[in-house]
Chains A and B, each alone.
Chain A
Amino acid sequence: MALLEVEDLRVAYGKIEAVKGISFTVDAGEVVTLIGTNGAGKTTTLRTLSGLLKPVTGKITFGGEVLNGVGAHKIVSMGLAHSPEGRRIFPRLSIEENLQLGAFLRKDADAVAKDIDNAYERFPILGERRRQAAGTLSGGEQQMLAMARALMSRPKLLMLDEPSMGLSPIMMQKIMSTISELKEQGTTILLVEQNAQAALSLADHGHVMETGNITLSGTGEELMHDESVRKAYLGED
């Protein structure tokens, strides 16, 4: 059985339907990506999965439990972590406090301390600046913090929304290589990206979203070689 199952999900803002009945699954251990242009409904989908938005219809099953109607603050304790679009670190808290909040629901203080050390090992710059307000970090460093913070809950599924947005090419590469490291370590990831090239080269499966619908699905490899995807998202004629 899939770790995450989304069936006929519809989400609306008032009368405007942003997600119009999509279905997909994520298996444990795989990386699945949703690609598509701005306004395709990718972020709306993630925000609904993590409980910040309520679906109009549809069923979300995660690890065998139905997520519909469960509050956002409870979903994270079930093992679903969400690193939101725009990073959304807590700017006036220190880096270390941001990481501690990522482990807010965990009771195992020793293991939390160890995970914070691991995060500093993965991202040394965060360790160097642990007492500094997170708002003083650069965009790429904030992205590292957002990812490290999401990992602090030891999630079964990590959802990353546009981790490369607004980053320099070097920083983007660093973030992408971190994601592929996480994949190698067996983390299950649902990745939303506008950088289709990078996302598809990492992903086991991908889905193309257009105006609230999934219009095309396949393995990352298949999509990368699909003519319409190449034209629309990879900038080729």
Chain B
Amino acid sequence: MQDLPDQLANGLALGALYGLIAIGYTMVYGIVQLINFAHGEIFMIGGFGALTAYLWLPDGTGLAVALPLMILLAVVCAVLVAIGAERFAYRPLRGGPRLSPLITAIGLSLALQQAVWAFYPDAKKARPFPQLGGSDFDLGFVTLSREDLFIFVSAPVCMLALGLFVAKTRTGRAMQATSQDPDTAKLMGVNTDRIIVMAFAIGAAFAAVAAIAQGFKTGEVNFRMGFIAGLKAFTAAVLGGIGNIYGAMVGGLVLGVAEALATAYIGDIPGLEQFGGGSWKDVWAFILLILVLLVRPQGILGERLADRA
């Protein structure tokens, strides 16, 4: 267990990545009670947006120049697709049966995957993603890779900005009001359609940043990368208490750490050798989800359901 600090860092980096994606699920759910199953594909499109920006730049462009442009194009692509999905797929179904937007979300998820598969050059197989390179940072007790550092900087920056926005600004207050009682928010003069679009857009932007982090980590992007990442992030959102933005990040971190530690150490337990290693890591994540749903169905930071009435 002497590599425990490294495993923890690894888990926290993974968890912050899940948490960033989970924000999108939780914000949209908090406001329109929709599980946007196409959110994983929004994440994937962010990844391809970043790759596109990188490929447009002349060879040999330094990452200091490339990275901001990659983030920018990733965010723009993801936000545009999310806003389009809200406007043309979900909004016409608002006020109808709850099942219709859910089925639409699943359909949209497949449609977006197939669109990238069919139309993005060479996307039928994984496309290599640029690497940060450079050496790791040895802090003595723990070694951090540059990929880890990217997520350790971007996730807190995103969370802090979102927290301040929601708590301190007039629009953020309108967003909270809309999530607590949309009809009454309208009576206050809040344009709730605009607030819903913003929730989709913020979630998409965070997912795009997470996609770059995943691209750095795995060295590739592919049209299916949104499926498992989306499922994990959805798990994180439920784990933390769906509807709660801090819960999403906490759920992500718990999930990431649990996954990293289980992958690293379960194989060391006598009798459980065959469960060690990376091929079981998704199993641990979903077992954790089932346990939390059994013991604390509202999630770690979830409100009691009665508060929503």
Contact = CB atoms under 8 A, between A and B. Distances in A.
Contacts of B94: none
A100 interface: yes
B139 interface: no
Give chain B's interface secondary structure class: helix
Interface string A168-182: 000000000000000
A73 B173 contact: no
Contact of A90 (B176, B186, B189, B192): B176
B189 A104 contact: yes
Contact of B188 (A51, A71, A104): A104
Contacts of A153: 188-189
A84 B184 contact: yes
Contacts, number: 67
Interface stretch (A4-12, A29-37, A91-99, A121-129): A91-99
B176 A50 contact: no
Contacts of A92: 176, 180, 303, 307
B89 interface: no
B174 A84 contact: no
Interface string B41-84: 00000000000000000000000000000000000000000000
A72 B187 contact: yes
Contacts of A97: 173, 176
A72 B177 contact: no
B174 A90 contact: no
Interface string B179-199: 011011111111110000000
Given A92-B176, A101-B173, A104-B170, A73 B181 contact: no
Nearest to A101: B188
A206 interface: no
A90 B180 contact: yes
Interface residues of A, number: 26
Contact of A52 (B173, B183, B191, B303): B183
B132 to A, nearest CB: 41
B307 A72 contact: no
B281 to A, nearest CB: 36
Interface in B116-175: 170, 173-174
Contacts of B176: 90, 92-93, 97
A67 to B, nearest CB: 14
Given A100-B173, A104-B174, A135-B307, A93 B180 contact: yes
A45 to B, nearest CB: 15
A82 interface: yes
A88 interface: yes
Given A50-B187, A72-B187, A84-B187, A93 B177 contact: yes
Contacts of A135: 307
Contacts of B180: 90-93
B307 A51 contact: no
A26 interface: no
A61 interface: no
17 contacts: A52-B187, A72-B186, A73-B186, A76-B187, A76-B188, A77-B189, A88-B181, A90-B176, A90-B181, A91-B180, A92-B307, A93-B173, A93-B177, A97-B173, A100-B170, A104-B189, A104-B190
The 9 closest A-B pairs by CB, nearest first: A72-B186, A105-B189, A88-B184, A76-B189, A104-B189, A101-B188, A104-B188, A90-B180, A73-B191
